[in-house]
Structure 1
Amino acid sequence: MQTLTVTSKGQITVKKEVLRHLGVKPGDKILLDLAPDGNVVLKAAPHERHGIEAIFGIFHDPGRAPVSVEDMNKVIADAWAGKR
């Protein structure tokens, strides 16, 4: 168990080994959840993507295999031909 000291400003410093355990690096964010029993849960926040990277994977369904470009082209061609 780690012991942290609270500063006069109400801040704490989390030690490197804790940050390493969470997998966070400088600039990353940490989520803090207050549990009803008085405990606190710390976890790494999901990485936010910016720009064009933000759209990659937004339609990914983990329970479904990705669709190939060939399959997409077939669906498009069938739709244009009135088959769908």
Structure 2
Amino acid sequence: MTLRKELLAHLGVEPGQRIDVEVLPGGRLELHAEQATGTIDGFIGLLAGRSSHRASLRELQDAMTAGWAGR
């Protein structure tokens, strides 16, 4: 679906930002700009269901260490 620039501006959507769609009764939809990233609420569940792999605590620690080190 393509939305006109003025509709995106009305929703407060920035370039590259995602839009949340809520299904309402009576065949209606409610659109709004997705919440800004960078919060823990935005992060939790981000990758849920995308892989059957479950990381071990060691793998998580290694990933965090590499991230903080800029690798």
Give the TM-score normalised by the residue count of structure 2: 0.51
1:42 is aligned to 31
In structure 1, stretches of 5+ residues that fail to align are 1-11, 56-84
Residue correspondences, number: 40
Q: Which one of 3, 8, 11 corresponds to residue 14 of structure 1?
A: 3
Question: RMSD across aligned C-alpha pairs, in angstroms?
Answer: 1.4
Output the CA distance in 2 between the equivalents of 1:24 and 1:44. Answer: 5
Output the CA distance in 1 between the equivalents of 2:26 and 2:33. Answer: 21
Output the CA distance in 2 between the equivalents of 1:30 and 1:23. Answer: 10
* Identity across matched positions, percent: 40
Q: Which has the larger radius of gyration?
A: 1
Task: Name the structure where strand makes up a greater proportion of residues.
Answer: 2
Greater relative CO (CA pairs within 8 A, separation 6+): 2
2:15 is aligned to 26
- Quote how far apart the aligned CAs of 1:20 are: 0.4
Cα offsets for 1:1-24 (capped at 9, x unmatched): xxxxxxxxxxx2100000000111
SS in 1 for 2:25: coil
- Quote how far apart the aligned CAs of 1:26 are: 1.2
Task: Name the structure where helix makes up a greater proportion of residues.
Answer: 2
